[in-house]
Structure 1
Amino acid sequence: MTATNETAPVVGLLDVEDTPAARDSRLPEPRALYNQWEKQQWAIAQVNVRRDHEQWETLRPFARQELLGALNELETGEVFVSRTLSTLVGFAPSDPDRLFLSTQVADEARHAQFFQDYRLEAVGLEDAADDDDSAYAQLFEPTLRTSLEQVAATGGDVGWWHTAVVEYHLVTEGILAAAALHLTRRIARRFSLPALEEGLGNVIRDESRHFTYGLAVTRQAAEGPLRDRITQVYLNGVEASARIMVNPQRKSAAPVLRPALLQRAALLSTQWDLTRTRALRQLRLMGLPELREDAEKIWDRTLETALSEYADVWGTPHPVAAAR
């Protein structure tokens, strides 16, 4: 265990329950989050990803497939953010915002490198994560890329800047990455992969800072004239997240044996439920509790529509639907 893991968790809201105390608490200023970043540095070399290699060799094909799929999604997201977040940095509304966002760029680069090193040294794969195999890359990256292009084209228009913050910090990290990170860490613990568990813990700590920053910025903006815009952007993100969970254009592995099918469906359902819970929990923390019912309906409707589309595309039900 590194010294970093002994540091108290970041003051953030990535993992807290939706309680009155959390909703009413004063969110940290960018400088406070910057100070947290300085105290919580970690190095990939200290994690020593190679120590998981022997255990990887003993994993069953199903476990390897599930973990590799999760790592591919996480790496794809980290690489994309590390390449594009500089647009938000360049048009940040204040120096404290700019300085904190600069730390996030460094974090995302470290996360991308961790996943790449883990694939190479622990798993034994030399190729990088495949964007074509990533639901996030296919179904949400284009939306976020468009927002960033508009931020640059408009010279930092405040509406587009906050749109990108919602899509980066509250959808990509607060909804999608948060659920995937926690579930993958749980799986790593189950299969005795200590380096992966430790590295994911470090990533989760970093992402908590990023999410808390995005939450504070968005909650403040939602108190003003951007409230309606933020509402629509977030609800669009909820819809996209539900569709990403199913990813109807990509065939999902469906074991023939019923017990194995039920196991896979349970794993997928757990991730979907975690993602849905986070999407709904954030609304009160954002100061938009009135959107919960709409968000629930959008999530549930989109999930069922995507499952139906999957069956139409592949001529067979999705494993989760088949397990029902």
Structure 2
Amino acid sequence: MESEYSPTELMDRGSRPNRYYRNAVERHWDPAEIELETDLENLRAYADDADDFDRAELDAIVTGIAKFGAGEDAVTEDLAPLAVVLDDIDDQLFLTTQLYEEAKHADFFDRYWRTVVWGVEDYLGWERTSPRADRWFDDAYLELFERNRRAMHRLLEDDTPENRALAYCHYHLTVEGILAQTGYYGMSRSFGGEFDDLPHLPGLVEGFDRIRSDEGRHVGFGMNQLEALVEAGEIAPSLIEDTVAELLPLVQGITEDDRFAPDEEPVGLKPGELATYAMEKHGQRLTQIADAAADVPSVEELVSIDDGDR
């Protein structure tokens, strides 16, 4: 019987996915090497120095960490369908690094919760909380990630250009390109030592910087794929605009979740600052995809962390 197997094409070393793959290999990092003892000490000291430090105050600090951890778990699980349907060797090379990196991100937040959050709860004599408890996740968060899951798994049933575009819009453009980047900005600003009334958590900020750099590549890949679909005439730019516009209220609901905010005047970022940042990211992403004169940023730009962007 004649074999149906045929060798795949050679790698395109100059393609964006291949360059993103190589960049990921060269910028490898290990979540276990990030030092967290200083964060634990600083958070303990913060609790000791505060007047009547209570559960609500700790919850306000760690809720973002819980959301990031659960989000990284979700995107790790939900990326697999894309790896199944893409058949370009360079796309596959890149996706192997993205799957690996999403797993590392989930690893970092799990380690942070076990080391720092549980460490502080043990120090205060409180019951340990679960980072997957329902209490951390508002309806907007649950809805956004459920829509992302459905968009990704739809590829296994009906792999069309439109469904690929929807998957990229949900996963790479909205969850990673807008929501996550906004969250990293807010958390890094809040706990980077800028505000005297918030604890300085350098290990958390270092983890965010590493993850933001990885996800710059992820977002660039999704933007490149969407740009290619638009240029080939397989989808209209309006599909991207309409899909992201439909998801933005959920992003806004997540960034404005104040269920754990203290009753007194909030410290740190001003109300509405994160929502403004999210809208700016949204505008940048759409311009870079739809405007032929505004090319997708280079891989060096995508992975760089600008201190002024925290």
Alignment TM class, shorter chain as reference:
0.7 to 0.9
* 1:216 matches 2:205: no
Deviation by residue 1:239-267 (Cα, 9 ceiling, x = unmatched): 332233345xxx724544xxx33537x54
1:151 alignment partner in structure 2: 155
Structure 1 residues 187-266: aligned runs within 5 Å: 187-190=190-193, 191-223=199-231, 224-227=233-236, 228-246=238-256, 252-253=259-260, 255-256=262-263, 260-263=264-267, 266=269
Closer, same or farther in 2 for the Cα pair 1:68/1:82, shift >3 Å? same
Paired residues of 2:183 and 2:255 also in contact (CA < 8 A): no
- For residues 196 and 105 of structure 1, what CA distance do their matches in structure 2 show? 22
Partner-residue secondary structure (3-state), 2:29:
coil
1:107 alignment partner in structure 2: 101
- For residues 271 and 126 of structure 1, what CA distance do their matches in structure 2 show? 27
Identity across matched positions, percent: 21
- The size of the alignment, in residue pairs, is 255
* 1:41 matches 2:31: no
- For residues 108 and 216 of structure 2, what CA distance do their matches in structure 1 show? 17
Paired residues of 1:30 and 1:97 also in contact (CA < 8 A): yes
Deviation by residue 1:195-231 (Cα, 9 ceiling, x = unmatched): 1111111111101111111111112222323123223
Structure 2 residue identity aligned to 1:236: E
The higher relative CO (CA closer than 8 Å, separation ≥ 6) is in 2
1:174 alignment partner in structure 2: 177
Unmatched 5+ residue regions in structure 1? 1-26, 290-324
Match among 25, 33, 39 for residue 52 of structure 1? 39
Deviation by residue 1:255-292 (Cα, 9 ceiling, x = unmatched): 44xxx33537x544222221121112222111259xxx
Structure 1 residue identity aligned to 2:148: L
Give 1:126 shift.
6.2
Structure showing greater radius of gyration is 2
TM-score norm. by structure 1 comes to 0.72
Moved over 6 A (4+): none
Partner-residue secondary structure (3-state), 1:263:
coil
Partner-residue secondary structure (3-state), 1:168:
helix
Structure 1 residue identity aligned to 2:277: L
- For residues 222 and 235 of structure 1, what CA distance do their matches in structure 2 show? 18
Structure 2 residue identity aligned to 1:151: L
- For residues 269 and 142 of structure 1, what CA distance do their matches in structure 2 show? 25
* 1:128 matches 2:131: yes
Kindly report the root-mean-square deviation, in angstroms, between the aligned alpha carbons of the 2 structures.
2.4
Match among 65, 69, 81 for residue 63 of structure 2? 69
Paired residues of 2:169 and 2:240 also in contact (CA < 8 A): yes
Structure 2 residue identity aligned to 1:112: A
Paired residues of 1:150 and 1:160 also in contact (CA < 8 A): yes
Between 168-177 and 216-225, report the one with greater CA deviation: 216-225
Paired residues of 2:141 and 2:250 also in contact (CA < 8 A): no
Paired residues of 2:70 and 2:131 also in contact (CA < 8 A): no
Unmatched 5+ residue regions in structure 2? 1-13, 48-52, 119-127, 194-198, 293-310
* 1:270 matches 2:273: yes
- For residues 102 and 157 of structure 1, what CA distance do their matches in structure 2 show? 22
Structure 1 residue identity aligned to 2:182: A
Paired residues of 2:161 and 2:229 also in contact (CA < 8 A): no
2:288 alignment partner in structure 1: 285
Paired residues of 1:76 and 1:137 also in contact (CA < 8 A): no
Closer, same or farther in 2 for the Cα pair 1:222/1:231, shift >3 Å? farther
Structure 2 residue identity aligned to 1:143: R
Partner-residue secondary structure (3-state), 1:192:
coil
TM-score norm. by structure 2 comes to 0.75
Partner-residue secondary structure (3-state), 1:129:
coil
Paired residues of 1:67 and 1:184 also in contact (CA < 8 A): no
